[in-house]
Amino acid sequence: MLDNHIPHPGIPHTEVDMSSEHAVIVGAGAAGWSAADTLVRSGWPGRVTIVDPAGATNRTLVNKGVLTGLLTREQLSRPVPTGTDLLQDEVEAIEEDGTVQLRSGGRLAPDAVVIASGSVPRPASFEADAGTPRSRILPLHSADDAERVRRLLPQGGGRVVILGAGLVGSETASLLADAGVGVTLVARSSLPLRDQLGPAVASELLRRHRDRIRVRTGRSVARATTRSSSAVIELSDGETLEADAAIVAHGTLAHRPASGSDQGAITVDARLRTGLRGVYAAGSVASILARGTAIRVDHWDDAAAQGAHAARSILHDLLGGADPGDYGFDSGFSSRIHGSMLTAWGVATDRTEWSRHVEGAAVGVGRHLGRVTAVAGLDAPLVVRDLATSASRDLRDPMSLYPTGV
């Protein structure tokens, strides 16, 4: 079965005889959709099957669309890429020879597999009171979650406590505040998103939160319970918050498709290969060996880029196509929060060293071993774009040096 061991350096992913020419993509999210589409568009000679019980959906619209009432859950669906087949089933296990076992009892024996099964909400870091129903203390990960939260709020108002001030928590706080909901944002960190965006941008984002909503930083949940019409959250400093709903936004964990004791992200090499021949992983289920550590990213654009890279690695390994090289974390994202545009590029780790781009501007530049690997900014999309373009060129050219005077 698929385990979590590190891929073997030099594992012989060489050109093979394509007898059935069948590729299976596990998951129809951003990474899976992109992997399937790239294979078809790049001339994969056989079938491409996407296995997903729910089909393809755009999860970026869960809070922007369904939670706000702008979209229904059905409107989040999208067709699978042209030239691919959708099999609405679940993967139970992937054997060492790449055979895919389905929950329905079926088995697939493809030439290549891309595991792109995504993520699940990280469980709450606190325990609710014994016997407390979790009907008002909810994650916000799926359209079902968004619909449940929306049903708890009175039309045009209400109160929500958001537990977690990461990107999803921050964006959701802004969306709900714009809709007239009274929002309290709770963060365990005294400066949320410092590691991901750098202190300059994180500090400015926190200031904008404080201008629009109630914010409690440096505090954890000591106790959680529900009443007939409210969620009650007691913080570590003794303050009690009562609201129509509490949203747990503590990030995500990798969602492995295989049953058994193996948990956590699937470790892959820089070409997104697992330790099994012909089996690759991409998106938030994957942890990529890069920059002396293992990096897992969970956002839409990066997942799509990883899916495409995994497909190109398959085309190289099995059909002798062009070598895509190492995955570069060369994608970005944007989010509108309290009327400001947050833009970012690259990826930061606990080894990233942040500096302010220019004094007075909410733009941060993150470096690893002297090279720019992450950029973030508030209301500075062109500056971020230019910095990212230069940094991307530097990462592709190992002989060049990025200017250090920032």
- CATH code assigned at 65: 3.50.50.60
Residue 215 belongs to a domain: yes
Residues 6+ apart with CB under 8 A from 322: 312, 315, 316
Q: Are residues 67 and 158 in the same domain?
A: no
Looking at residue 221, its pLDDT comes to 95
DSSP string across 362-404: -EEEEEETTEEEEEEEES-HHHHHHHHHHHHHHHH-TT-----
Q: Are residues 95 and 127 in the same domain?
A: no
Q: Residue 147's domain spans which residues?
A: 123-248
Q: Are residues 168 and 86 in the same domain?
A: no
The total number of structural domains in the chain stands at 3
Looking at residue 193, its pLDDT comes to 97
Residue 272 belongs to a domain: yes
Residue 366 belongs to a domain: yes
Q: Are residues 129 and 215 in the same domain?
A: yes
Burial label for 276, CB within 10 Å (0-12, 13-18, 19+), is buried
Element at 200 (helix H, strand E): helix 199-212
Cα–Cα distance measured from residue 202 to residue 104, given in angstroms and rounded to the nearest whole number: 47
Residue 358 belongs to a domain: yes
Cα–Cα distance measured from residue 64 to residue 75, given in angstroms and rounded to the nearest whole number: 12
Read off the pTM: 0.90
Looking at residue 20, its pLDDT comes to 58
Element at 30 (helix H, strand E): helix 30-41
Give average pLDDT by consecutive 10-residue segment, the chain, 406 residues: 48 41 96 98 96 93 95 94 96 92 95 96 78 81 95 93 97 97 97 96 97 97 92 96 96 83 85 96 96 90 97 97 95 96 94 87 92 95 94 63 31
Looking at residue 135, its pLDDT comes to 86
Q: Are residues 31 and 105 in the same domain?
A: yes
Cα–Cα distance measured from residue 262 to residue 260, given in angstroms and rounded to the nearest whole number: 6
User: What order of strands is seen across the sheet that includes strand 47-51?
Assistant: 85-87, 47-51, 22-26, 112-115, 279-281
Which residue is it, tokens 């944002």? 185
Query: Among residues 193, 214, 248, which one ends one of the domains?
Result: 248
Query: Which amino acid type is present at position 330?
Result: D
Q: Are residues 131 and 244 in the same domain?
A: yes
Looking at residue 19, its pLDDT comes to 46
Query: Among residues 248, 278, 296, which one ends one of the domains?
Result: 248
Element at 49 (helix H, strand E): strand 47-51
Residue 404 belongs to a domain: no
